[in-house]
Chain A
């Protein structure tokens, strides 16, 4: 199935990312806990996937020809929930129930509870293997669907990531595109201080991947990278997206403390003001 490529509407995508950020902040404040920094840093990437690149049908979450998205860094659940709600998978009002008892919006994504979530995640390091399996399955069924997998930069310290890196390249999974949200921070500090992951791009290249490095907040660059990796044949692609943790809210940006805490009501108010401009 060859689709007619429409020109990406960058303005619309930026607007989607802005709304995603506002929803992330609102739902986290309401929940009173959760992961602010890593949800905000991924907002532009997730907006580009859900509102430009991926083929999917919110009204039919299990549509067989859909592209798949695996949020390997499952703690960034709010960015996925916001995108799914805005795309129409479920009522936006549900976002208010995040992390509350009985809610389908679990602290980390749960595929049994929420349509649109391909697989439950939360324990870091497991998503890329799952994405490989899906990509293999799609390939042998001759499906045109593609698989996207979002990883944290701290997350790639897990050994399983590198096992999966070999598998993807060994099986020439060119229907797979992984993206690293390279915000430079994890929980205990900067990745380079906790456990050095550099040089990231060279490592993936050495593992046989096609690697692109971009600014993960430049919508044109994101869209361009997603288009370019699609035509690369014979190997999996990795987009190393340089990002800022907490992006979009000046007082959260680059602050490691905001990894795992929700905004206060006052912070929310000020954050929304910044995003409304």
Chain B
């Protein structure tokens, strides 16, 4: 798997790809090498990109229709027969509509069900608040036995999909609709529970997930030009959190900023605060959606409106450090 990936990766550098597209490709690859992989969708296979797998392996693909609760239950049953189910729909419906099925069946019995949801966050864009999941990480993180992963780019997404196939237990993977730059280096190897430090800063460290990793890297560049040493950590596994890394950066810089395309309540920022307040209390400032619903607009307009831009990260950090 490694070699094939690396070759593809070369082509993708400097390219932008949506994490959902990477998922569609990875699922197809996985289907070729593992016969136990089965895929479920809820009438959104074109958007979640599970259609690629469906075309190649129609006998291992189940469209459950517009019934997300039924889809999670069916995936659970399939896992009880030794299959490896991947169940996909939009993040809002996957984690929201089917939350209790995920709690009572998937997590309570620690089933080997992979929940891979697309269209998370406000970069869903014009469809508006009803379709923009900004609380899914919180909803999944709170569940015992659940692993929560938010890849930063297409390259990492592929690795995540291969990696969770080899792990036994419930996993939630949060993917997006819009194209994002490939930011992870070609020698990067994803491991569940292990974060990646692009650089550890002495003035501030930005702990980010998903699309905010690339935005945090842009912010760090600007900060550097302004004489501020800012580190960037891709905390792609939000649960279990990489505590070692958090301890390390909290010793290197007095300020930590978290960045997530998610509510500041219950997501990455909350997780980081929970750990550091008990283990090494340093100041943590959370950048994210501030207890608000999203709205219609283009993804870039919305990122601006909700302060999820490099400029806003720079401004926030500069103000805090100048105080």
Contact = CB atoms under 8 A, between A and B. Distances in A.
B65 A154 contact: yes
A121 B131 CA distance: 10
A124 B64 CA distance: 15
A187 B295 contact: no
Interface of B: 41, 43-47, 51, 63-67, 69-70, 92-93, 96-97, 125-131, 295-298, 301-302, 305
Given A108-B130, A122-B128, A159-B67, A187 B43 contact: yes
Given A33-B127, A101-B297, A158-B67, 19 more contacts: A33-B126, A101-B296, A101-B301, A102-B297, A106-B296, A107-B127, A107-B130, A108-B129, A120-B130, A123-B92, A123-B93, A124-B66, A125-B66, A125-B97, A186-B43, A186-B65, A187-B47, A191-B65, A194-B43
B127 A108 contact: yes
Which of B47, B69, B295 has its CB near the most chain A CB atoms (within 10 A)? B295
Contacts of A191: 65
Given A99-B126, A187-B43, A195 B131 contact: no
Contacts of A99: 126, 128, 296-297
Contacts of B44: 187-188
Interface string A164-190: 000000000000000000000011100
User: A-side binding surface: helix, strand, loop or mixed?
Assistant: loop
Contact of A107 (B65, B97, B296): B296
A122 B126 contact: no
Contacts of A108: 127-131
Contacts of A105: 296
Contacts of A110: 128-129
B296 A157 contact: no
Nearest to A155: B66
A106 B127 CA distance: 7
A94 to B, nearest CB: 13
19 contacts: A101-B297, A101-B301, A102-B297, A103-B296, A106-B130, A107-B127, A108-B128, A110-B129, A122-B131, A125-B97, A154-B65, A187-B44, A188-B43, A188-B44, A188-B45, A188-B63, A194-B63, A195-B63, A195-B65
Contacts of B97: 123, 125
A74 interface: yes
A163 B93 CA distance: 18
Contacts of A127: none
A102 B298 CA distance: 11
B65 A194 contact: yes
B65 A157 contact: yes
A232 B125 CA distance: 44
Given A101-B305, A194-B43, A159 B70 contact: yes
A191 B92 CA distance: 22
Contacts of B96: 123
The 5 tightest CB contacts between A and B, nearest first, are: A195-B65, A122-B130, A101-B297, A107-B128, A157-B65
Contacts of B64: 195
A106 B46 contact: no
B130 A158 contact: no
A191 B66 CA distance: 10
Interface string A207-244: 00000000000000000000000000000000000000
A81 to B, nearest CB: 12
Contacts of A246: none
A157 B66 contact: yes
A134 interface: no
